[in-house]
Amino acid sequence: MFLIFKEAINNIARHAECASVSLTIKVSRNRLIVEIQDDGRGFSDLRPQKSLSQGAGSGHGLENMQSRAEELGGHLSVDSAPGHGTRLKLMVPIRKP
């Protein structure tokens, strides 16, 4: 999970041109739910081969983040639009020992 957050924060710092970022962490129905949202420039191309920035070229940030979420048995969703910021939501099941 750390690497997912690291990639998201790195992309926000490098590309979003935002004024604020929020991080929400909660537990619901045996799932950890984490949302990272910025008020930056957003982007329109959500294909996995792009990273989390508009016109990112050959980056694989989003693809790597999605792979890591799947490895955890979870799901990653990204909602973004040009001029409206980006919201990343990670849902991961909580496994009891």
**pLDDT of the residue at 44:** 85
Mean pLDDT of successive 10-residue stretches along the chain, which has 97 residues: 94 95 96 97 66 49 94 96 96 87
**pLDDT of the residue at 46:** 58
For residue 10, the surrounding DSSP H or E stretch is helix 2-11
**pLDDT of the residue at 56:** 43
Can you give the residue ranges of every domain in the chain?
A: 2-93
**pLDDT of the residue at 95:** 83
**pLDDT of the residue at 53:** 41
Calculated CA dihedral for residues 22, 91, 68, 3, nearest 10 degrees: 30
How far is Cα 33 from Cα 31, in angstroms, rounded to an integer? 6
**pLDDT of the residue at 59:** 66
User: What is the architecture of the domain spanning 2-93?
Assistant: 2-Layer Sandwich (3.30)
